[in-house]
């Protein structure tokens, strides 16, 4: 019974991660191919740099999306491990997966903003 609780927590985190990776980033990539240089509605980085230049939008999406994808994969590992551990350890791994995922959101936003600023300065 204890394994089921951790499994459900890990499964919930994995489903969130997979939804964001495959649906969110996939639709943003499709949107960018159809509308090159235009901002994707899935990616909400709005700074002075991205308002000035469509190329800055593309740079922000490419670098921020790549960073976020790696954070999602890093969060998927402890979420998978939480399936196979007893309650206490599995809960710790499930919480760690959630923390890595949400830290990835903020770090990727910073990376995207820096890429846009760097691109607009050139």
Where in the chain are the domains? 2-121
Which helix (H) or strand (E) covers residue 19, if one does?
A: none
In the block, residue with structure tokens 């939008």: 57
pTM: 0.64
Percentage of residues in the chain having pLDDT higher than 70 = 61
Question: For residue 74, how far is the Cα from the chain centroid?
Answer: 10
Cβ contact 34:118 at 8 Å: no
Q: Express each pLDDT in 86-120 by its tens digit.
A: 777 777 887 888 888 888 878 887 887 788 777 76
Helices (H), 19-53: 26-34, 48-52
| Average pLDDT score over the chain | 71
The pLDDT of residue 1:
47
Mean of the pLDDT values across residues 68-85?
Answer: 79
């Amino acid at each position: 019974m204890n394994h089921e609780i951790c499994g459900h927590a890990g499964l919930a985190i994995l489903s969130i991660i997979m939804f964001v990776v495959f649906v969110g980033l996939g639709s943003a990539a499709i949107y960018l191919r159809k509308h090159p240089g235009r901002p994707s509605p899935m990616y909400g980085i709005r700074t002075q740099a991205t308002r000035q230049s469509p190329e800055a939008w593309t740079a922000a999406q490419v670098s921020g999306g790549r960073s976020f994808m790696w954070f999602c994969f890093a969060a998927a590992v402890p979420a998978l491990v939480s399936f196979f551990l007893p309650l206490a350890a599995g809960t710790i791994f499930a919480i760690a997966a959630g923390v890595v995922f949400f830290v990835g959101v903020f770090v990727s936003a910073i990376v995207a903003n820096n890429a846009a600023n760097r691109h607009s300065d050139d």
